[in-house]
Protein backbone atom coordinates (compact mmCIF):
# COMPACT_ATOMS: atom_id res chain seq x y z
CA UNK A 1 0.00 0.00 0.00
CA UNK A 2 1.32 3.42 -0.97
CA UNK A 3 2.26 5.83 1.79
CA UNK A 4 0.90 9.37 1.66
CA UNK A 5 3.14 12.42 1.88
CA UNK A 6 1.91 15.99 2.15
CA UNK A 7 4.28 18.31 0.32
CA UNK A 8 4.57 22.02 1.03
CA UNK A 9 4.46 23.61 -2.43
CA UNK A 10 5.55 27.24 -2.67
CA UNK A 11 5.39 27.73 -6.42
CA UNK A 12 9.17 27.44 -6.80
CA UNK A 13 11.24 24.87 -8.64
CA UNK A 14 12.53 23.12 -5.50
CA UNK A 15 9.15 22.09 -4.13
CA UNK A 16 7.83 21.39 -7.64
CA UNK A 17 10.64 18.93 -8.32
CA UNK A 18 10.15 17.45 -4.85
CA UNK A 19 6.63 16.50 -5.92
CA UNK A 20 7.91 14.78 -9.05
CA UNK A 21 10.61 12.88 -7.15
CA UNK A 22 8.23 11.72 -4.43
CA UNK A 23 5.72 10.49 -6.97
CA UNK A 24 8.45 8.62 -8.80
CA UNK A 25 9.45 7.00 -5.50
CA UNK A 26 5.94 5.59 -5.15
CA UNK A 27 4.32 7.99 -2.70
CA UNK A 28 0.79 9.30 -2.94
CA UNK A 29 1.52 13.04 -3.00
CA UNK A 30 -0.80 15.74 -1.68
CA UNK A 31 0.26 19.28 -2.52
CA UNK A 32 -0.25 21.89 0.20
CA UNK A 33 0.03 25.59 -0.58
CA UNK A 34 0.48 27.75 2.49
CA UNK A 35 -0.80 31.32 2.40
CA UNK A 36 0.81 33.47 5.09
CA UNK A 37 0.36 37.01 3.78
CA UNK A 38 -2.44 38.86 1.99
CA UNK A 39 -1.18 42.33 1.14
CA UNK A 40 -0.38 43.39 -2.41
CA UNK A 41 3.06 44.75 -3.26
CA UNK A 42 3.80 48.22 -4.63
CA UNK A 43 2.86 47.10 -8.16
CA UNK A 44 -0.60 46.06 -6.98
CA UNK A 45 0.17 42.37 -7.47
CA UNK A 46 -0.35 39.64 -4.88
CA UNK A 47 2.71 37.40 -5.06
CA UNK A 48 0.99 34.55 -3.22
CA UNK A 49 -1.67 34.36 -5.94
CA UNK A 50 1.01 34.15 -8.64
CA UNK A 51 2.79 31.41 -6.71
CA UNK A 52 -0.44 29.48 -6.19
CA UNK A 53 -1.11 29.56 -9.93
CA UNK A 54 2.37 28.07 -10.52
CA UNK A 55 1.61 25.36 -7.96
CA UNK A 56 -1.62 24.48 -9.80
CA UNK A 57 0.20 24.33 -13.13
CA UNK A 58 2.79 21.92 -11.76
CA UNK A 59 0.15 19.84 -10.00
CA UNK A 60 -1.71 19.53 -13.28
CA UNK A 61 1.41 18.20 -15.02
CA UNK A 62 2.04 15.70 -12.20
CA UNK A 63 -1.63 14.84 -11.67
CA UNK A 64 -1.63 15.43 -7.92
CA UNK A 65 -4.27 17.16 -5.74
CA UNK A 66 -3.54 20.54 -4.14
CA UNK A 67 -5.05 22.19 -1.07
CA UNK A 68 -4.60 25.86 -0.19
CA UNK A 69 -4.24 26.51 3.54
CA UNK A 70 -4.68 29.96 5.05
CA UNK A 71 -2.34 30.70 7.96
CA UNK A 72 -2.48 34.49 7.65
CA UNK A 73 -3.80 35.08 11.17
CA UNK A 74 -1.44 32.56 12.76
CA UNK A 75 1.52 34.01 10.87
CA UNK A 76 0.76 37.51 12.12
CA UNK A 77 0.39 36.29 15.70
CA UNK A 78 3.37 33.94 15.86
CA UNK A 79 5.88 35.42 13.39
CA UNK A 80 5.16 38.95 12.16
CA UNK A 81 4.32 40.51 15.53
CA UNK A 82 7.51 39.06 16.98
CA UNK A 83 9.43 40.48 14.02
CA UNK A 84 8.04 43.98 14.70
CA UNK A 85 8.74 43.70 18.43
CA UNK A 86 12.39 42.82 17.80
CA UNK A 87 12.81 45.63 15.27
CA UNK A 88 11.51 48.09 17.84
CA UNK A 89 14.20 46.86 20.25
CA UNK A 90 16.85 47.66 17.63
CA UNK A 91 17.48 44.01 16.74
CA UNK A 92 17.80 42.49 13.26
CA UNK A 93 15.40 39.51 13.41
CA UNK A 94 15.13 36.64 10.94
CA UNK A 95 11.41 35.82 10.45
CA UNK A 96 12.14 32.80 8.22
CA UNK A 97 13.59 30.91 11.19
CA UNK A 98 10.50 31.65 13.29
CA UNK A 99 8.21 30.72 10.39
CA UNK A 100 9.85 27.30 10.08
CA UNK A 101 9.47 26.58 13.78
CA UNK A 102 6.03 28.05 14.39
CA UNK A 103 4.25 27.48 11.07
CA UNK A 104 5.84 25.05 8.61
CA UNK A 105 7.01 22.39 11.05
CA UNK A 106 4.24 22.88 13.59
CA UNK A 107 0.83 24.05 12.33
CA UNK A 108 1.55 22.91 8.78
CA UNK A 109 2.74 19.50 9.99
CA UNK A 110 -0.42 19.06 12.06
CA UNK A 111 -2.56 19.98 9.05
CA UNK A 112 -0.78 17.35 6.97
CA UNK A 113 -1.69 14.71 9.56
CA UNK A 114 -5.37 15.67 9.45
CA UNK A 115 -5.33 15.00 5.71
CA UNK A 116 -4.11 11.47 6.34
CA UNK A 117 -0.48 12.05 5.43
CA UNK A 118 2.17 9.91 7.10
CA UNK A 119 4.96 12.30 6.11
CA UNK A 120 5.51 16.00 5.48
CA UNK A 121 7.93 16.97 2.73
CA UNK A 122 9.43 20.35 1.83
CA UNK A 123 11.81 21.68 -0.79
CA UNK A 124 14.48 22.68 1.74
CA UNK A 125 18.09 21.92 0.89
CA UNK A 126 18.65 19.79 3.99
CA UNK A 127 19.11 16.11 4.77
CA UNK A 128 18.28 13.83 7.68
CA UNK A 129 20.68 11.26 9.12
CA UNK A 130 19.84 7.70 10.21
CA UNK A 131 18.79 8.97 13.66
CA UNK A 132 16.79 11.83 12.11
CA UNK A 133 19.56 14.31 12.91
CA UNK A 134 19.44 17.47 10.78
CA UNK A 135 22.25 17.56 8.20
CA UNK A 136 23.44 20.21 5.77
CA UNK A 137 22.20 19.95 2.20
CA UNK A 138 24.62 18.54 -0.36
CA UNK A 139 24.83 21.89 -2.20
CA UNK A 140 26.96 24.15 0.04
CA UNK A 141 25.63 27.25 -1.74
CA UNK A 142 22.00 26.35 -1.05
CA UNK A 143 22.17 24.55 2.31
CA UNK A 144 19.22 25.71 4.45
CA UNK A 145 19.91 23.92 7.74
CA UNK A 146 20.70 27.36 9.22
CA UNK A 147 17.00 28.25 8.89
CA UNK A 148 15.78 24.99 10.46
CA UNK A 149 17.95 24.88 13.57
CA UNK A 150 15.11 26.11 15.84
CA UNK A 151 12.58 23.46 14.72
CA UNK A 152 11.63 21.03 17.47
CA UNK A 153 13.59 17.81 17.02
CA UNK A 154 10.52 15.58 17.17
CA UNK A 155 9.11 17.24 14.03
CA UNK A 156 11.86 15.68 11.90
CA UNK A 157 10.67 12.14 12.68
CA UNK A 158 8.17 12.24 9.81
CA UNK A 159 9.78 14.74 7.44
CA UNK A 160 11.33 14.19 3.99
CA UNK A 161 13.68 16.57 2.14
CA UNK A 162 13.59 15.27 -1.48
CA UNK A 163 16.15 17.73 -2.95
CA UNK A 164 18.60 17.66 -0.03
CA UNK A 165 20.98 15.34 -1.89
CA UNK A 166 20.94 17.45 -5.05
CA UNK A 167 22.77 20.57 -6.17
CA UNK A 168 20.73 23.42 -7.61
CA UNK A 169 21.88 23.00 -11.20
CA UNK A 170 20.72 19.36 -11.15
CA UNK A 171 17.37 20.43 -9.71
CA UNK A 172 16.89 22.72 -12.71
CA UNK A 173 17.87 19.96 -15.16
CA UNK A 174 15.52 17.44 -13.58
CA UNK A 175 12.68 19.97 -13.53
CA UNK A 176 13.14 20.43 -17.28
CA UNK A 177 13.16 16.65 -17.72
CA UNK A 178 9.81 16.41 -15.92
CA UNK A 179 8.54 19.39 -17.97
CA UNK A 180 7.64 21.36 -14.87
CA UNK A 181 6.41 24.92 -15.54
CA UNK A 182 8.65 26.26 -12.76
CA UNK A 183 11.89 24.78 -14.17
CA UNK A 184 13.34 28.19 -15.07
CA UNK A 185 11.53 30.29 -12.48
CA UNK A 186 13.88 32.54 -10.50
CA UNK A 187 14.40 31.78 -6.81
CA UNK A 188 12.54 34.04 -4.40
CA UNK A 189 14.73 36.23 -2.20
CA UNK A 190 14.21 38.51 0.77
CA UNK A 191 11.47 38.50 3.39
CA UNK A 192 8.24 36.97 2.10
CA UNK A 193 5.83 39.64 3.38
CA UNK A 194 7.86 42.55 2.01
CA UNK A 195 8.38 41.27 -1.54
CA UNK A 196 9.78 43.88 -3.93
CA UNK A 197 8.86 46.81 -1.71
CA UNK A 198 11.37 49.05 0.04
CA UNK A 199 12.05 47.66 3.52
CA UNK A 200 12.04 51.09 5.17
CA UNK A 201 8.77 52.12 3.52
CA UNK A 202 7.10 48.86 4.47
CA UNK A 203 8.16 48.85 8.13
CA UNK A 204 7.18 52.52 8.50
CA UNK A 205 3.56 51.44 8.02
CA UNK A 206 3.76 49.53 11.30
CA UNK A 207 6.34 51.29 13.46
CA UNK A 208 6.98 54.99 13.83
CA UNK A 209 10.63 56.00 13.76
CA UNK A 210 12.23 59.39 14.39
CA UNK A 211 15.30 60.77 12.69
CA UNK A 212 18.53 60.86 14.66
CA UNK A 213 22.27 61.35 14.24
CA UNK A 214 24.89 59.23 12.54
CA UNK A 215 27.86 59.51 14.87
CA UNK A 216 31.40 58.24 14.90
CA UNK A 217 32.51 56.37 18.00
CA UNK A 218 34.31 59.49 19.25
CA UNK A 219 31.02 61.44 19.16
CA UNK A 220 31.30 63.38 15.89
CA UNK A 221 27.99 63.78 14.05
CA UNK A 222 28.41 63.03 10.32
CA UNK A 223 24.80 62.88 9.11
CA UNK A 224 21.16 62.15 9.90
CA UNK A 225 19.43 58.76 9.78
CA UNK A 226 15.73 57.89 9.51
CA UNK A 227 15.49 55.77 12.67
CA UNK A 228 18.03 53.51 14.35
CA UNK A 229 15.94 50.36 13.91
CA UNK A 230 16.17 50.64 10.10
CA UNK A 231 19.90 49.88 10.14
CA UNK A 232 21.94 46.78 10.83
CA UNK A 233 25.51 46.14 11.92
CA UNK A 234 27.89 46.05 8.95
CA UNK A 235 25.48 47.91 6.65
CA UNK A 236 27.09 50.08 3.96
CA UNK A 237 24.37 50.79 1.40
CA UNK A 238 21.54 53.21 2.01
CA UNK A 239 23.29 55.37 4.60
CA UNK A 240 23.46 58.48 2.41
CA UNK A 241 26.90 59.38 3.76
CA UNK A 242 29.63 60.49 1.39
CA UNK A 243 32.83 62.50 1.46
CA UNK A 244 36.43 61.61 0.79
CA UNK A 245 37.83 58.37 2.12
CA UNK A 246 36.57 54.81 2.55
CA UNK A 247 32.88 53.97 2.65
CA UNK A 248 30.95 54.33 5.89
CA UNK A 249 29.70 51.26 7.76
CA UNK A 250 27.30 50.85 10.67
CA UNK A 251 29.35 49.58 13.62
CA UNK A 252 26.97 50.02 16.59
CA UNK A 253 23.49 51.26 17.51
CA UNK A 254 22.02 52.90 20.59
CA UNK A 255 18.31 52.34 20.20
CA UNK A 256 17.40 54.24 23.38
CA UNK A 257 19.21 57.41 22.30
CA UNK A 258 18.38 56.79 18.62
CA UNK A 259 22.03 56.98 17.56
CA UNK A 260 23.59 54.96 14.74
CA UNK A 261 27.38 54.75 15.07
CA UNK A 262 29.39 54.61 11.85
CA UNK A 263 33.05 54.34 10.90
CA UNK A 264 34.94 54.27 7.62
CA UNK A 265 36.29 51.07 6.07
CA UNK A 266 34.92 47.54 5.78
CA UNK A 267 37.74 46.26 8.00
CA UNK A 268 37.40 48.85 10.75
CA UNK A 269 38.37 47.20 14.08
CA UNK A 270 35.01 48.05 15.66
CA UNK A 271 33.30 45.72 13.18
CA UNK A 272 35.11 42.69 14.62
CA UNK A 273 34.59 40.73 17.81
CA UNK A 274 35.83 37.42 19.19
CA UNK A 275 32.88 36.89 21.54
CA UNK A 276 29.11 37.08 21.64
CA UNK A 277 26.29 36.23 24.01
CA UNK A 278 23.81 33.67 22.67
CA UNK A 279 20.35 33.37 24.23
CA UNK A 280 17.24 31.23 23.64
CA UNK A 281 19.51 28.30 22.85
CA UNK A 282 17.74 25.32 21.30
CA UNK A 283 19.51 22.00 20.72
CA UNK A 284 18.83 19.21 18.25
CA UNK A 285 21.32 16.90 20.00
CA UNK A 286 21.15 15.31 23.45
CA UNK A 287 24.47 16.70 24.65
CA UNK A 288 25.25 20.34 23.78
CA UNK A 289 28.88 20.91 22.76
CA UNK A 290 31.61 22.85 24.56
CA UNK A 291 33.57 23.24 21.29
CA UNK A 292 32.27 23.09 17.73
CA UNK A 293 31.89 25.34 14.69
CA UNK A 294 29.24 27.98 14.07
CA UNK A 295 27.77 30.46 11.61
CA UNK A 296 26.63 33.93 12.64
CA UNK A 297 24.94 34.48 9.27
CA UNK A 298 23.57 32.39 6.41
CA UNK A 299 26.14 31.13 3.89
CA UNK A 300 29.06 31.99 6.15
CA UNK A 301 31.74 29.31 6.30
CA UNK A 302 31.89 27.36 9.56
CA UNK A 303 33.92 29.10 12.26
CA UNK A 304 35.61 27.28 15.15
CA UNK A 305 34.25 28.34 18.57
CA UNK A 306 33.91 27.44 22.24
CA UNK A 307 30.89 27.76 24.55
CA UNK A 308 30.88 28.82 28.19
CA UNK A 309 27.50 28.15 29.79
CA UNK A 310 25.76 30.84 31.79
CA UNK A 311 22.48 28.94 32.18
CA UNK A 312 20.54 26.28 30.25
CA UNK A 313 19.57 28.68 27.46
CA UNK A 314 22.43 31.19 27.53
CA UNK A 315 26.11 30.88 26.67
CA UNK A 316 29.11 33.05 25.92
CA UNK A 317 30.60 32.02 22.57
CA UNK A 318 34.28 32.65 21.89
CA UNK A 319 35.67 32.33 18.36
CA UNK A 320 39.21 31.32 17.43
CA UNK A 321 39.18 34.08 14.81
CA UNK A 322 37.39 37.45 15.32
CA UNK A 323 34.09 37.63 13.43
CA UNK A 324 32.92 40.57 11.36
CA UNK A 325 29.58 42.33 11.89
CA UNK A 326 28.09 40.11 14.59
CA UNK A 327 24.49 41.31 14.61
CA UNK A 328 22.10 41.24 17.60
CA UNK A 329 18.82 39.57 16.69
CA UNK A 330 20.35 37.29 14.09
CA UNK A 331 20.91 33.60 14.76
CA UNK A 332 24.09 31.75 15.61
CA UNK A 333 23.87 28.13 14.45
CA UNK A 334 26.23 25.39 15.63
CA UNK A 335 27.64 22.49 13.61
CA UNK A 336 29.75 19.37 13.88
CA UNK A 337 30.83 18.86 10.26
CA UNK A 338 27.50 18.27 8.41
CA UNK A 339 25.40 17.84 11.56
CA UNK A 340 23.36 20.86 12.68
CA UNK A 341 23.56 20.83 16.47
CA UNK A 342 21.17 23.70 17.21
CA UNK A 343 21.46 27.43 17.73
CA UNK A 344 20.25 30.56 19.42
CA UNK A 345 19.79 34.31 19.15
CA UNK A 346 22.72 36.73 19.23
CA UNK A 347 21.95 39.21 22.00
DSSP state of 70: E
Q: Where are the beta strands (DSSP E) in 186-336?
A: 212-215, 221-225, 248-254, 259-264, 272-283, 291-295, 303-311, 314-324, 331-336
99 is catalytic: yes
Question: Which residues, in sequence order, are CB contacts of 66 under 8 Å at separation 6+?
Answer: 9, 30, 31, 32, 33, 55, 56, 59
Whether residue 292 is contained in a domain is answered as yes
For residue 200, being part of any structural domain is answered with no
Give the residue numbers spanning the domain of 332.
Answer: 271-346
Per the domain annotation, does 54 fall within a domain?
Answer: yes
Q: Higher-confidence residue: 199 or 4?
A: 4
pLDDT in tens, 130-156: 999 999 999 999 999 999 999 999 999
Burial (CB count within 10 angstroms: exposed 0-12, middle 13-18, buried 19+), residue 324: middle
* 203 located within any domain: no
The answer to whether 135 and 22 have CB atoms below 8 angstroms apart is: no
Lowest mean pLDDT among 27-36, 62-71, 197-206, 235-244: 197-206
Instruction: Exactly one of 58, 126, 192, 340 is catalytic; name it.
Output: 192
What average pLDDT is seen over the chain?
A: 93
pLDDT digit string, tens, across residues 37-47: 876 655 555 56
**24 and 79 assigned to the same domain:** yes
Nearest to 75 by CA among 55, 53, 48: 48
* 197-209: burial string, b at 16+ Cβ within 10 Å, e else: beeeebbeeeeeb
pLDDT of residue 90 exceeding 70, the answer is yes
User: Residues 262, 224: one domain?
Assistant: yes
Q: Are 305 and 291 in contact (CB under 8 A)?
A: yes
Residue 267 burial by Cβ neighbours in a 10 Å radius (0-12, 13-18, 19+): exposed
State what percent of residues in the chain have pLDDT above 70.
96
**Is the residue at 225 inside a domain?**
yes
DSSP 8-state class, residue 7: E
| Residue 248 shares a structural domain with residue 283 | no
Single residue among 266, 284, 306 that ends a domain in this structure = 266
Please report whether residue 260 resides in a domain.
yes
Across the range 242-249, mean pLDDT stands at 92
Q: Which residues of 46-73 are buried (b: 16+ CB within 10 A; e: fewer)?
A: bbbeebbebbbebbebbebebeeeebee
Q: What is the pLDDT of residue 40?
A: 61
pLDDT at 320 over 90: yes
pLDDT for the residue 46: 57
Question: Do residues 342 and 281 touch, judged by C-beta distance below 8 A?
Answer: yes
What's the distance, CA 166 to chain centroid? 20
Backbone angles phi, psi at 233, to 5 degrees: -60, 130
Q: Phi then psi for 263, rounded to 5 degrees? A: -145, 160
> How far is it, in rounded angstroms, from Cα 299 to Cα 330?
13
Domain identity same for 252 and 277: no
Q: Among this protein's residues, is 292 annotated catalytic?
A: no
Predicted pLDDT at 209: 82
Q: What is the pTM of this model?
A: 0.94
Q: Decide if 70 is inside a domain.
A: yes
- The residue among 240, 266, 292 that closes a domain is 266
Average confidence (pLDDT) over 258-266? 97
Verify that 231 and 148 share a domain, yes or no. no
Q: How many CA atoms does the CB half-sphere of 204 hold within 13 Å? A: 12
Does 248 have pLDDT greater than 70? Answer: yes
**142 with 26, same domain?**
yes
User: Which CATH number do you get for residue 330?
Assistant: 2.40.30.10
pLDDT higher than 80, residue 59: yes
In degrees, to the nearest 5, what angle opens at C-alpha 120 toward C-alphas 168 and 188?
A: 35
Q: Is residue 232 situated within a structural domain?
A: yes
Q: Tell whether the model's pLDDT for residue 121 goes beyond 70.
A: yes
Q: Among positive and negative, which fits the CA dihedral 14, 17, 22, 25?
A: negative
Mean pLDDT of 105-132: 95
pLDDT of residue 196: 65
CA distance 31 to 12: 13
Backbone angles phi, psi at 333, to 5 degrees: -120, 135
The residue among 225, 243, 245, 244 whose CA lies nearest residue 235 is 225
> Which entry of 58, 99, 305, 340 is annotated as an active-site residue?
99
131 and 225 in a common domain: no
In a 3-state reduction of DSSP, which class is residue 158? helix
Are residues 30 and 155 located together in one domain of the fold? yes
When divided into structural domains, the chain yields a total of: 3
Residue 24 has pLDDT above 90, yes or no: yes
Please report the pLDDT score of residue 45 as a whole number.
Answer: 56
For a pLDDT cut of 90, what percent of the chain falls above it? Answer: 85
User: Would the pLDDT of 313 be above 70?
Assistant: yes
74 in the same domain as 46: yes
Q: Would you place residue 69 in the very low, low, confident or very high pLDDT band (cuts 50, 70, 90)?
A: very high
Element housing 69 (H / E): strand 66-70
Cα gap 152→128, rounded to integer Å: 14
Amino acid sequence: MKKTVALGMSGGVDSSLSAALLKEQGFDVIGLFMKNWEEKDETGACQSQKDYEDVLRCADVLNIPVYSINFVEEYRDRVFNSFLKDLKKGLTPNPDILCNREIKFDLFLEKAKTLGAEFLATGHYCRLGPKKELLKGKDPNKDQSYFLHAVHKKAFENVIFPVGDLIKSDVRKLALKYELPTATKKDSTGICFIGKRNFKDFVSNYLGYAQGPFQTLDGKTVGTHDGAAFYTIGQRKGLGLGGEGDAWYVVQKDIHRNIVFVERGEDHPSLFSSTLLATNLHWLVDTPPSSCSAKVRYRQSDQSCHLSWIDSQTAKVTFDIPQRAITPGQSIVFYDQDVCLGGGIIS
